[in-house]
Amino acid sequence: MTTSLTRHLGPLALALVLLLPGSAHAQIKLEKMHVGYSAQAGAFAPIWITREAGFFKKNGLDVDLLFIPGGPTAAAAMVAGEVQAVAMAGPAILTSNLAGSDLVMVAGIVNTFAFQFVTVKEITSPAQLKGKRVGVNRFGAAPDVAARYALKHMGIDPREVTVLQLGEQATRLAAMKTGQLDAAILLPPITTIAQKEGMNVLLDMSELGAEFQITGVASSQKFLVQKRASAMRFMRAFVEGIHYYKTRKKESMNIIAKYMRTTDMEAVAATYDYFAHKIVPKKPYPSIKGTKALLDLLAKDRPEATRVSPERFVNSTLLKELDDSGFIDRLYQ
């Protein structure tokens, strides 16, 4: 058949036939990639949406999206080569790098403290926090860093409270309901649910205006060098996912509800509005200033953090190449 087609139609016509839908030659083999995210929180919606809306496949990637609880665990998985990229907490990336890994931030998702310090209904002022129990997910992860920063901002020495690591947000909220916790670092939609229960948002940290590299996408320098084309496809898909997130509210909310396992669409809408319009940037560059702020915080326990440049922990070359080409700007035209 191929010989007959070549003889009667010519090489160009044959090429067109082979690209017709259904032709085995038209099938594009997707490259397998393992990508993680470290929390079931609204800050991670861009990576969920990138996968669910089909942008990874559009860019030639077959992505397994894996939930790896906690930034330190996610960093360890990447160092072990189990995943090629992870949406995760900034502090864990820096800590891993300082310990000798080649992990770097390739995109910023939350470049400020997008956390809310929530208390049980009986606590309405910072002074009442002394001697109380504050819940975070894991020591060293972003909520832990945020909790200690928030306490200091409110005039409370973190040593005057008991900080407990209790896992995911839903677990922390449940602990507050049962009297096991007095306060916790939370995010929408859990914050919205907490307020329905009569709890208080003592501090919305996003209003502080502080640059902190709380959440971003990390990868290894080895992957960025050895698999540059794959990494670029990943980044192209991710910025397309962010555009979809910012411009398709209904569809994005459905994806958020799926990943956060909730049917409370009021809470999901609050999550969407908070992150899509207030927090996540169109061009997700990691913040050098925010990375420096994290280093300063880490330096209290790791003196070597004072001797390194924040640029060591950031690789924006993929994003800059896309940005310089006009690709991101064209998405929003």
pLDDT digits (tens, 9 = 90+) for 30-40: 999 999 999 88
Average pLDDT, the chain: 89
Task: Give pLDDT, residue 237.
Answer: 98
pLDDT of 22 over the 90 cut: no
Share of the chain above pLDDT 70, in %: 92
Q: How confident is the model at residue 306 (pLDDT cuts 50, 70, 90)?
A: confident
pLDDT at 206 > cutoff 60: yes
- Band (pLDDT 50/70/90 cuts) for residue 189 is confident
In the structure, what pLDDT confidence band is assigned to residue 16 with cuts at 50, 70 and 90? very low
The angle at the Cα of 215, spanning 298 to 246, to the nearest 5 degrees, equals: 155
pLDDT given at position 3: 42
Name the residue with higher pLDDT: 210 or 31: 31
Q: How confident is the model at residue 301 (pLDDT cuts 50, 70, 90)?
A: confident
Residues in the chain: 333
Confidence bin at 26 (pLDDT 50/70/90): very low
Is it the case that residue 68 has pLDDT exceeding 90?
yes
Question: 155 burial class (0-12, 13-18, 19+ CB within 10 angstroms)?
Answer: exposed
- In the predicted structure, residue 11 carries a pLDDT above the cut 80: no
Cβ–Cβ < 8 Å for 174, 153: no
Range in 121-130, 170-179, 192-201, 291-300 the model is least confident about: 291-300
pLDDT score of 61: 98
pLDDT at 19 over 60: no
pLDDT value at residue 142:
73
Burial zone of 7 (CB within 10 Å; 0-12 exposed, 13-18 middle, 19+ buried): exposed
Q: What is the pLDDT of residue 250?
A: 97
pLDDT at 18 over 70: no
Question: Which residues, in sequence order, are CB contacts of 216 under 8 Å at separation 6+?
Answer: 87, 88, 90, 93, 105, 106, 107, 108, 109, 110, 111, 284, 286
pLDDT band (50, 70, 90) for residue 15: very low
The pLDDT value recorded for residue 7 is: 41
- Domains located in the chain, CATH noted: 31-112+211-331 (3.40.190.10), 116-208 (3.40.190.10)
What pLDDT sits at residue 27? 56
Residue 51 has pLDDT above 90, yes or no: yes
pLDDT for 300 equals 78
Ranges 236-240, 242-246, 293-297: which has the least confidence: 293-297
Q: What is the DSSP string of 169-236?
A: HHHHHHHHHTTS-SEEEE-TTHHHHHHHTT-EEEEEGGGG--EEEEEEEEEEHHHHHHTHHHHHHHHH
Lowest mean pLDDT among 106-110, 159-163, 204-208: 204-208
| pLDDT score recorded for residue 299 | 85
Report pLDDT for 25: 39
CB–CB of 218/150 below 8 Å? no
- Report residue 192's pLDDT band, with 50, 70 and 90 as the boundaries: confident
